[in-house]
Chain A
Amino acid sequence: MYKIAIFASGSGTNAENIIKTFHGGNLLRVVKVYTDVADAGVIERLRPYGVETEYVEPRVWRQDPGLVVDALRAEGVDLVVLAGFMRLVDKRIVEAFPRRILNLHPALLPAYGGKGMYGHHVHEAVIAAGEKKSGVTVHYIDEHYDRGEILMQAEVEIEEGETPQTLEAKIHQAEYAIYPRAIAEALRRMPPSVPRKTGIPPALPHSAPPVPEPHETPADASEAPQQGSVPPPLPEVESVWAQELKMDYDPEEAARRAQQQMQNGAPAGHGTPAGNGATPPPNPAGPVNLQGPEQSEPVPPNYFVLSIVMTLLCCTPAGIVAIVFSSMVNSRYYSGDVEGAKRASRNAEIWIIVSFCLGVLSTTLYLPFSMLFGG
């Protein structure tokens, strides 16, 4: 089952549509919705679906997007879906999820895109220009507004006397029809070369929920995505993980840290819509639920540098023992022997202290020693 994270700033109608479409299937699950607006409508709207919403304050989006990346990785997110997210996604997030962030733009890109072209501004510009057709575009994100590679498009006809409001309604219908299909297609296209996360069996969507073939939807097709023909089973795709972090990445700690930071940074309005007397939305639970035995605990410290320094400067024999234990920490941890790794780490620490004490001892004893034995 693929894991999807949604970024949303507004009322969340597209987010809701996605959740409803894939609910009960085994293709994907929306694990979290992140928003940059404390009282965004999406928080209330998604509450009945039991999908966690998390407010991340603008400062974090702007200056510390690494926290968002950490949280996404900790959740094991395969694909990020922007559903009315107003912020330009920071380069660091894009770099961490190349070709794995989707956006929906209410126009036929490359036309009517770019900064400032959002929501009703687009429809007004389209009608003002006298266009006969508009549409929606689903595209991958790069770090510019609306410039990434296009995945899917659908057209909408513009009639005589169309107003921005009526056009907006038609566009919304096209959005609800196309976005789930585009997401399924994007998952189909996930690179199989993406490394597998240890301990997680590959996701095998044997029976994906029926997704109709993507086709140009005329404006009047206002139904929700139809139960059409069953597509061929999607190829086996490993869940995405951060290969370069395999060495020392403890997702649980990162998730805890990221959530803690985001909660510390968030004001009292964390997830609570303004003026709502109801119970606050469910807080993000404690540690992230991880699979894989070797990742239930963070990697113990390996005392690498200290062992080397101790060998060189304090007491060589003890330092060498410390080095030996230190080399065992990482190898044991990544072969699944967490207990052994912890023991090795403790032993390395002990021998470092022994080395230090012997060094101090030999220093302080040197004088009397040499006086006794004539140096």
Chain B
Amino acid sequence: MNRKRLIILIMITVALIAGATYSFFVDPSEASWAPKCMVKTLTGYDCPGCGSQRMFHALLHGDIGAAWRHNAFLLLALPVIILMIIVEANRRRWPRLYRPLFSTASILTWTALLAAWTLLRNLL
């Protein structure tokens, strides 16, 4: 791993740790100064990411039930996303894993699921 990639990796790790720390200590439900979703504010509808802050907060405190209530899709998608990141970084080593995960079919599935989730959470 060369210098540049190492620096990027360090920056990402720092950002993740900072984000996790923030999420752990700040309960977005309580703090009125925490950022809210623009889409929701403007249109009143939930975007697919709404509740993600509260979800992370609940997750870091171990409250899976609350996390599920805030953003079920993200909770389920999170391990898949992490897997995809790892596989993408190793795509030459695991071509058999990389291929289905990053095929056109896969991304269309993601899009469909995202759309379905957005619709559902606004209708129910």
Contact = CB atoms under 8 A, between A and B. Distances in A.
A347 interface: no
- Say which size band chain A's interface belongs to: 35 or more
Interface in A51-109: 66, 70
A243 to B, nearest CB: 10
A313 B39 CA distance: 12
A366 B35 contact: yes
Nearest to A315: B38
B69 interface: no
Interface string A2-39: 00000000000000000000000000000000000000
A254 B92 contact: yes
Contacts of B111: 320, 323-324, 327
Contacts of B73: 312
Interface residues of B, number: 34
Contact of A362 (B38, B52, B104): B38
B33 A331 contact: no
Interface secondary structure of B, over-half rule:
helix
B67 interface: no
Contacts of A362: 35, 37-38
Nearest to B85: A305
A154 B74 CA distance: 66
Interface secondary structure of A, over-half rule:
helix
Interface string B44-80: 0001110010000000000000000000011001000
Nearest to A310: B49
B27 interface: no
A309 interface: yes
Interface of B: 33, 35-39, 41, 47-49, 52, 73-74, 77, 81, 84-85, 88, 91-93, 95-96, 98-99, 102-104, 107-108, 110-111, 114, 118
Q: Report, nearest first, the 7 A-B pairs whose CB atoms are least far apart.
A: A362-B38, A363-B35, A247-B99, A316-B47, A327-B107, A312-B49, A245-B95
